[in-house]
């Protein structure tokens, strides 16, 4: 059974919609450059609404330890999702904080997938996301999709999730095509950048549950 994470939640109403319609994970973005960024106070408010069977994921970009400490404490995080980190840095974070760790690998070519192997023994899960065209741009949440055919025959050495350009219309195809055990969506359930849409969240999760 494929599960789903709704990422970049920032309001009680959309968080409640994600939980009500069956999300296994909810994501809070701690990255000021993102339109989905939440403050520590807002994250604490939202996290208090999340029941125990739904995992709380903190999304951070090359974070310092102080940022990690505050994010974990404010939202009582179950998972850290890290973007733009080296294997050595990820290993140091895992050793210090000791909670479940996901690492995003940006994908444009088949060779990019091989970057996942460096995180064996470090990450609990790899999140395959589309590589953004501008290295200085946001690392995710831009509605970009990579070629799912790149995953054909790829030897996964870690548990993994699929992200990048997913939406209610294509998520079923994505799961059938790749065999993803977890799918992650942000912009695909928004009416505009940073604004989640209850109906789109419901449609996305319904499409996942129907498989």
The residues assigned a catalytic role are 7, 129
SS (H, E, C) 62-124: CCCHHHHHHHHHHHCCCEEEEECCCHHHHHHHHHHHCCEEEEEEEECCHHHHHHHHHHCCCCC
Report the distance separating Cα 73 and Cα 66, nearest Å. 11
For residue 117, report the phi and psi dihedrals to the nearest 5 degrees: -60, -25
Contact 54, 74 (CB under 8 A): no
Rounded to 5°, the CA angle 172-177-182 comes to: 60
CA distance 3 to 135: 30
């Amino acid at each position: 059974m494929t599960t789903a994470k709704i990422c970049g939640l920032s309001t009680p109403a959309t968080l409640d919609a994600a939980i009500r319609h069956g999300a296994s994970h909810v994501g809070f973005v701690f990255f000021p450059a993102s339109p989905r960024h939440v403050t520590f106070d807002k994250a604490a408010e939202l996290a208090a609404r999340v029941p125990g069977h739904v995992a709380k994921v903190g999304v951070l970009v090359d974070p310092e330890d102080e940022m990690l400490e505050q994010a974990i404490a404010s939202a009582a995080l179950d998972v850290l999702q890290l973007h733009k980190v080296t294997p050595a840095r990820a290993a140091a974070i895992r050793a210090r904080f000791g909670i479940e760790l996901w690492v995003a690998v940006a994908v444009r070519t088949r060779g990019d997938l091989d970057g996942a192997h460096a995180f064996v023994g470090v990450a609990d899960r790899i999140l395959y996301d589309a590589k953004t065209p501008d290295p200085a741009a946001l690392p995710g949440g831009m509605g970009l999709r990579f070629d799912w055919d790149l995953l054909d025959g790829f030897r996964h050495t870690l548990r993994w999730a699929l992200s990048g350009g997913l939406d209610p219309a294509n998520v079923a195809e994505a799961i059938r095509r790749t065999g993803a055990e977890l799918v992650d969506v942000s912009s695909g359930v928004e009416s505009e950048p940073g604004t989640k849409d209850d109906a789109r969240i419901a449609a996305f999760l319904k499409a996942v549950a129907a498989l």
